[in-house]
Structure 1
Amino acid sequence: MTAFVLVGGAFTGGWVWDGVAERLREAGATAHPVTLDVDPEAGLGTHIGELTALLDRIDEPEVVLVGHDYGIHPVLGAAGLRADRVSRVVYVAAGLPSDGDPALLLVRDEAVRDRLGHDTSPLPPPRGAEWSRWGSLDGLSAEDLERLDRLAAPQPAGTLTEPLRLGDEVERVPAAAVMCTADGPGVDVVEMLVRTGPPHLRKLAGPGYAFFELAAGHWPMLSHPAELTGLLLRAAAGEGQRITLGEDQPSYERQEFLLPTPEVPHERHGRLDVYAPDAEGRRPAVLFVHGGPVDADRVPTPRDTPFYRGYARHLAALGVVGATVDHRLYALTDYARAAGDISEALRRLRAHPRVDPDRIAVWIFSGGGLLAAHWLAEPPPWLRCLALSYPVLAAPPGWETVESRFRPVDALAGAGTLPVVLVRAGREHPAFAATVEAFLAAAGKHGTDVEIVDVPDGRHGFEALDRTDASRDAVARSVRAVLDRVTGAE
């Protein structure tokens, strides 16, 4: 006999699980939908204590703790204190908090994050369409929204601001995640981040973590109770997709560049590397900006990989200064810091004696695409081209914690005559591809000059993953498109 302890997100109670609890009981399991304390003075520790006391009262030998949204914080806290009583933790449309993280870090609504920075009164629940600021409403009926409005309760501020404290014991508890793909990334994006992103994500690779995808929004217990119940039962049985790292290094870190590149020496200026051509006089320059988030401690850093060295050397061979930058985009909350690093790199690059300061292009890759918003909103006259390779150009589901000013789709209104070269991968991650289509629609509305270089069979990072003639041709075409704009006449 398995007991499921069901813990909902902010503003909700055990009632949000009614449809799932009924189906779990019909399948022969025990269900404990939990309504946590909503006293204004309650904090995260209060909720952890409530769950711990409940675990002590449960007789079933197998206990599965299920946490939705905010609910994963008290679930992890209780699992760490009662690791011997918990057979599995299941994340449902939830983030991956670490020790010391308050739940506020994962709140998508920027206004709420700002408010709780200075106001400790309980947070009133959303109403109607306001629920979309907390997650996708995909699949919810009018009756579901009415029920949320009617039963929701204020959320005590301390539950969101109090840091989560986790010991090593919680790592002994197997875990599974239900990825709601209308609300956040799918398993493919998680796998990409595990391979190249912050080190705390690497624990997701291996037998201790399993993954399921559900085509649902943020409240699957309301919109898809039968499907979610089935996945919870499968998770309890140890099923699910596993992520494996395989090779020790991602291919872009170990494979030589797709096109032939000569050995070009470089100069290092802080976070900036400069590859100058063997030619006289000042030359146009292209700064290559890596994606992310990346692991702060990973070696080699992006600018030292064959991928970015290759791009910079290739341009130097063509008579243009190639430059790379190691910016500090280590988490979704680091875009402002990364933008500052890039601005400083561009200042240094324009001051370099081999660079024509009035002929600069910025070429951004992958998750760095959100950084393009600054250059689109108010392009300086010396920026002759903005290039974007398989970029993220709006906050995909689950990335709402990125500051709202990093939204290239919105920034297009100020782009004016700035030309854009966009390299589009035909086999892009769906969540990322949707942001590209939104960008192109906005570009059409504003009359932005966008040249698209399509790679129909290419994947995200096709230069390293798809070493084909089509990929080589796409790289050559995109390089030529950028050079035509950065070297062209006034």
Structure 2
Amino acid sequence: MTVFILVGGVFTGADVWRETAARLAAAGREAHAVPLTAIDAGRPAVGHVDLETHIADVTAAIDAVGEGPGREIVLVGHDYGIHPALGAADRRPQRVDRVVYLDCGMPRDGVPPLAAVPDPALRARLAARAGRGETQGELAPPATHEEWQRWGSTAGVGVAALDRLTALAAPQPLGTLLQPLRLSEAVAAVPATGVLCTRNGVGIDLVQRLVDFGDPVAAALAGPRVTFFELPTGHWPMLSCPAELADVLLRAAAGAGHRLRPADTGTPPAHLRPFPLDVPEVPRDRKGHVDLYVPGEGGARPAVVFVHGGPVPAAARPTPRDWPTLVGYARLAAAEGVVGATLDHRLHDVADYERAAADVTAAVELVRADPRVDADRIALWFFSGGGLLAAPWLAEPPAWLRCLAASYPVLEPPPGWGLGDSRFRPVRAVAHAGALPVVLLRAGREAPGIAATVEAFVAAAKDSGARLELVDVPHGHHGFETLDPAEETGPPLRHAMRAVVTRLTG
């Protein structure tokens, strides 16, 4: 008999699991949603409530499950709930057979749940309170449908379900977010499954990329005891698709799921595979965090600055400006008679967009100051998650910016990234692009969540009369240059480059 112990996220009590628990029970399993102290009406607070209080709640739920042959405990933590779930699993590692991370990050020893709060402004306010020693009190729950988006995508959650979520939301005790999680090595031995809700911004491909980049934290995710599932929904699958969630949990309990490829298999990861086009060798001129590829003599030339995507772990080696794709694009630009420039910026986490934007601005100024570059004829070309960095340039394009291009970009931040109120929203910014030409390379087999942002951008560009040229790669995937056949990706890539160069030189 498999016993599921379900732990809810921020503001949410046991009731949020009602439909999922019923489906697990109908499949012949036990399912217990944990009432959390000061969150659930049936478990009022007595004294100070912190993370250890909730860990004790979950530990008590584990202890209440009778032991016996064939009784396996699967501990499911959603959102904030993964913190008390992991804390309890660390205290009862012999009793827990699997931990399921439901659309949440990877908590680490010594880090408080506050680090996982997606809203940066709220995170900063709470951190300031912690700095003043204010670890008690309550964090008021969201009151409207729109405010739930600050905590994650509500995709798939109907109006009635959102009404119910809002009506049942309870104030989150401040101490539960500010107290650091304490873990030993014991929990690392417990098998784990990640369930990723792709409409909230993260899928298996993105996690595989983190492993491929050499992120030491992500490396453990490619272990033999770790599996993954995707659900094409938002952050609350227990409300948007409880039947599908129950099915995934049953399969996870059986040890099924996708396993990631370790980084050291001997096969080059996608981002280090060869560029699909034969381009002439052009010497690299390294200046600080920028590399210039200059096409020989001939005076000052226009330049294309290529801005890589991310987030990319700080420890990733080689760094993006040395990846074959970025080098290939820069050399292709040089073959067309303009200067190609690549750079490294510090987009290591979704909280890093401001400093990455500053790095891009500094790189552009460095390129424009080079005597081999025509400072009045510059193009910017963005990739993947770097697409959000295009927004400030669209919102206020300088006179010297003659073209903006993007390949398989993210053009609207996923709700869980905490950037809803930021300036990094190209879908909004394109209305102010004016006469700035925009060239967009669109992958036909893009991840659904990213594809939705591209289509929203295209619609916004059309509504505002922006000068948008679409270059489609019908069978291309995200990162198509090194994933798909050269005969399919090469022609549109060359077409896009020539479109950009024409706008620089015309």
What TM-score do the two structures reach when normalised by structure 2?
A: 0.90
Q: Deviations over 1:454-480 (max 9, x none)?
A: 111111121111233231111111110
Is residue 49 from structure 1 mapped to residue 56 from structure 2 by the alignment?
A: yes
Q: 1:434 aligns with which of 441, 452, 462?
A: 452
SS at match of 1:344: helix
User: Structure 1's 319 and 150: CA in aligned 2 closer, same or farther, altered over 3 A?
Assistant: closer
Q: Is the 8 A contact 2:153 2:414 kept in 1?
A: no
Q: CA deviation at 1:65?
A: 0.9
Is residue 362 from structure 1 mapped to residue 369 from structure 2 by the alignment?
A: no
Aligned position for 2:220: 203
SS at match of 1:334: helix
For the residues of structure 1 that align with 2:499 and 2:61, how far apart are their CA atoms?
A: 63
Give the residue type in structure 2 aligned to 1:126.
P
User: Structure 1's 192 and 297: CA in aligned 2 closer, same or farther, altered over 3 A?
Assistant: closer
SS at match of 1:376: helix
Q: 1:127 aligns with which of 138, 143, 153?
A: 143
User: Structure 1's 159 and 260: CA in aligned 2 closer, same or farther, altered over 3 A?
Assistant: same
Q: 1:296 aligns with which of 314, 317, 320?
A: 314
Aligned position for 1:92: 102
SS at match of 1:457: coil
Give the residue type in structure 2 aligned to 1:447.
G
Give the residue type in structure 1 aligned to 2:140.
P
Give the residue type in structure 2 aligned to 1:123.
L
Q: Deviations over 1:128-179 (max 9, x none)?
A: 4133332333443444334323322100122223333333322211111222
Give the residue type in structure 2 aligned to 1:44.
L
* Larger CA deviation: 287-296 vs 35-44: 35-44
Q: Is the 8 A contact 1:275 1:323 kept in 2?
A: yes
Gaps of 5+ in 2: 39-44
Aligned position for 2:80: 70
**Matching of residues 368-387 of structure 1 within 5 Å:** 368-387=386-405
SS at match of 1:158: helix
For the residues of structure 1 that align with 2:156 and 2:280, how far apart are their CA atoms?
A: 54
Aligned position for 1:219: 236
Give the residue type in structure 2 aligned to 1:83.
P
Give the residue type in structure 2 aligned to 1:50.
D
Q: Is the 8 A contact 2:150 2:416 kept in 1?
A: no
**Matching of residues 135-154 of structure 1 within 5 Å:** 135-154=152-171
SS at match of 2:304: strand
User: Structure 1's 313 and 20: CA in aligned 2 closer, same or farther, altered over 3 A?
Assistant: closer
Q: Is the 8 A contact 1:174 1:208 kept in 2?
A: yes
User: Structure 1's 10 and 253: CA in aligned 2 closer, same or farther, altered over 3 A?
Assistant: same
Q: Is the 8 A contact 1:197 1:294 kept in 2?
A: no
Q: Is the 8 A contact 2:480 2:489 kept in 1?
A: yes
Moved beyond 6 Å, runs of 4+? none
Q: Is the 8 A contact 2:73 2:95 kept in 1?
A: yes
User: Structure 1's 269 and 167: CA in aligned 2 closer, same or farther, altered over 3 A?
Assistant: farther
Q: CA deviation at 1:219?
A: 2.4
Aligned position for 1:405: 423
Q: Is the 8 A contact 2:210 2:313 kept in 1?
A: no
SS at match of 1:87: strand
Q: Is the 8 A contact 2:151 2:416 kept in 1?
A: no
SS at match of 2:382: strand
Aligned position for 1:337: 355
Q: CA deviation at 1:229?
A: 2.2
SS at match of 2:149: helix
SS at match of 2:351: coil
Give the residue type in structure 2 aligned to 1:433.
A
Aligned position for 2:42: none
For the residues of structure 1 that align with 2:328 and 2:105, how far apart are their CA atoms?
A: 35
For the residues of structure 2 that align with 1:247 and 1:330, how far apart are their CA atoms?
A: 25
Q: 2:249 aligns with which of 232, 235, 250?
A: 232
**Matching of residues 185-196 of structure 1 within 5 Å:** 185-196=202-213
User: Structure 1's 142 and 376: CA in aligned 2 closer, same or farther, altered over 3 A?
Assistant: closer
Aligned position for 1:83: 93
For the residues of structure 2 that align with 1:197 and 1:331, how far apart are their CA atoms?
A: 15
Aligned position for 1:21: 21
For the residues of structure 1 that align with 2:216 and 2:469, how far apart are their CA atoms?
A: 36
Aligned position for 1:159: 176
Aligned pairs, number: 487
Aligned position for 2:488: 470
For the residues of structure 2 that align with 1:346 and 1:141, how far apart are their CA atoms?
A: 45
Is residue 252 from structure 1 mapped to residue 275 from structure 2 by the alignment?
A: no
Q: Is the 8 A contact 2:214 2:317 kept in 1?
A: no
User: Structure 1's 192 and 251: CA in aligned 2 closer, same or farther, altered over 3 A?
Assistant: closer
Q: Is the 8 A contact 2:273 2:482 kept in 1?
A: no
Give the residue type in structure 1 aligned to 2:331.
R
Q: 2:342 aligns with which of 324, 346, 354?
A: 324
Q: CA deviation at 1:347?
A: 1.5
SS at match of 1:77: helix
For the residues of structure 1 that align with 2:468 and 2:207, how far apart are their CA atoms?
A: 30
For the residues of structure 1 that align with 2:240 and 2:377, how far apart are their CA atoms?
A: 53
For the residues of structure 2 that align with 1:408 and 1:164, how far apart are their CA atoms?
A: 37
Q: Is the 8 A contact 2:311 2:349 kept in 1?
A: yes
For the residues of structure 2 that align with 1:324 and 1:216, how far apart are their CA atoms?
A: 36
For the residues of structure 1 that align with 2:279 and 2:32, how far apart are their CA atoms?
A: 62
For the residues of structure 1 that align with 2:164 and 2:372, how far apart are their CA atoms?
A: 65
RMSD: 2.3
For the residues of structure 2 that align with 1:463 and 1:99, how far apart are their CA atoms?
A: 38
Q: CA deviation at 1:307?
A: 1.9
Q: Deviations over 1:117-137 (max 9, x none)?
A: 345541112224133332333
Aligned position for 1:5: 5
Aligned position for 2:330: 312
SS at match of 1:291: coil
For the residues of structure 1 that align with 2:418 and 2:103, how far apart are their CA atoms?
A: 13
Q: Is the 8 A contact 1:393 1:407 kept in 2?
A: yes
Q: Is the 8 A contact 1:175 1:208 kept in 2?
A: yes
User: Structure 1's 138 and 394: CA in aligned 2 closer, same or farther, altered over 3 A?
Assistant: closer
User: Structure 1's 355 and 174: CA in aligned 2 closer, same or farther, altered over 3 A?
Assistant: same
For the residues of structure 1 that align with 2:371 and 2:377, how far apart are their CA atoms?
A: 13
For the residues of structure 2 that align with 1:183 and 1:313, how far apart are their CA atoms?
A: 36
Q: CA deviation at 1:419?
A: 1.1
Q: CA deviation at 1:54?
A: 3.6
What TM-score do the two structures reach when normalised by structure 1?
A: 0.92
